[in-house]
Chains A and B, each alone.
Chain A
């Protein structure tokens, strides 16, 4: 059973606009969340993280929002750039040392 879900397989956005990627999870024990970006023929690269004690974390153009009551997190990219075109995975875990559970990914295309 998929404990982390990314229900949008793909998303297209115009350059300069906001990209919003969504992720839902079912396990209320998850307390640490990450986003990864993956280009073709490369491994995923870490983008941004958030722990359950916060509801927002920013890093440059990237902001992750966490809504614990809704078991939902989102990644905002503002402004979107063509180089952001990639597959984005969200991942979640509970407790230190446990495994991460990954979503199925959302393929973002930023149109110049």
Chain B
């Protein structure tokens, strides 16, 4: 079966711009979580969506937002980009809420803010 698909794989944006990242979970998975990975910080939880509702939110500013569609696909938006937003953004899907029994991660979107 198809894995978790994230698009685009790479992005270069300028400070102040906004960006939208997309994630298509494994078919049948209703939970999509987003993580930011930076060197030295590991994976930091952004938010989780389950059945189109945001269930959990990590400690990130309001510039980071997301949504989930009825087909479970999810988008993440970052507005007013800052240099510190440069990171690998990982999407993870799971059958159950909270990633119980483990996530399946996508390959990530590498965002570079210049």
Contacts and interface: CB of A to CB of B under 8 A. Distances in A.
B98 A46 contact: no
B24 interface: no
Contacts of B55: 97
Contacts of B106: 43
Interface of A: 2, 4, 6, 32, 34, 36, 41-46, 49, 89, 91, 93, 95-105
A102 B42 contact: yes
A105 B42 contact: yes
A34 B45 CA distance: 15
Contacts of B105: 36, 43-45
Interface stretch (B11-19, B33-41, B62-70): B33-41
Interface of B: 4, 33, 35, 40-45, 48, 55-56, 58, 90, 92, 96-108
Given A43-B4, A97-B55, A98-B56, A89 B103 contact: no
11 contacts: A34-B102, A43-B4, A44-B43, A46-B102, A49-B101, A93-B98, A96-B96, A96-B98, A98-B98, A99-B48, A103-B42
Closest 6 CB pairs of A and B: A43-B105, A97-B98, A104-B42, A102-B43, A46-B102, A99-B45
A100 B108 contact: no
Contact of A49 (B43, B102, B108): B102
